[in-house]
Amino acid sequence: MDRLSRLHKGTAGEAAQMAQAKKIVLYMLVVFVLYTIIKTPARAADLVQVGFEGISDAATSVGEFMTELTK
């Protein structure tokens, strides 16, 4: 097997490992979120509200910025 073939196989193997690691991290995140919602639903609701307020504020700011640009 030549060097290029070995290098390509190593890269493919690393990519597969990264994909597997991403899946594991995603599953852990989902489990953590579900645990948080079940354990402290009021706190989870507060965090979601804060997140949506942040998104809303950011969208409002972008809208105001675009409005000022067109003046």
pTM, two decimal places:
0.51
* For residues 47-71, average pLDDT: 94
Per-residue pLDDT tens digits for 3-23: 555 555 567 778 888 899 999
Residues 22-51 pLDDT 10s? 999 999 999 998 998 899 989 889 988 999
Q: 16 burial class (0-12, 13-18, 19+ CB within 10 angstroms)? A: exposed
pLDDT value, residue 60: 97
Per-residue tokens: 29: 């995140």
Q: Residue 30: what pLDDT?
A: 94
